[in-house]
Amino acid sequence: MTNPFGQPYTVPPTLPFPASYREERVVSRDALVEFETNRYSVPPGHAGATVEVRARLGELHLEIYTPSGHRIARHRRALSGAGQTIRTPEHASMLERAVLEQFTTKGRCPRKPNRPPGERALAEAAKLRGESADGVVVDLESYARIAGVAGR
């Protein structure tokens, strides 16, 4: 059978064309990489690093690679725009371990000593309160009360 141009019909391919996405992303402090509004986990040692997210058109998984080409994660691909966080149990336990290792049993930090304010600070506070430099405070309410009594 031929088409109207005299050429034979061809059978369409059974699989889609293997197009793929490759995008660079920066790993967040909580070891997540954002892709298509979803967030995917990586080992916590990569926080702050640039990684490459690779996804093929029509595939159910995506992979995350280091700049040197080592695969560090493979995840089930969430629907684009779903806003999901996909974290493997291994990455979750590694992140938990990394966070807990940051805690210490050392004593608390020393408290800051409580020092009285200096002369400059007192002068600035006086300006804010409306006091003059010689310490005389003019209270307009009491002035109005005195003027009201004197005017009677």
Domain ranges of the chain: 20-101, 124-150
Average pLDDT in the 10-19 region?
Answer: 72
- Side by side, the strands of the sheet bearing 85-86 are 32-35, 38-41, 85-86
Q: Are 76 and 86 in contact (CB under 8 A)?
A: yes
* 20-101 is a CATH 2.60.120 domain: no
Average pLDDT in the 52-70 region?
Answer: 92
Q: Which of the two residues, 13 and 67, has the higher pLDDT score?
A: 67
Residue 64 tokens, joined: 């995350």
Place of tokens 């509004």: 37
Q: Which of the two residues, 59 and 38, has the higher pLDDT score?
A: 38
| pLDDT, tens only, 115-139 | 899 989 988 888 887 776 565 666 7
Kindly tell me if the per-residue pLDDT of 146 is higher than 70: yes
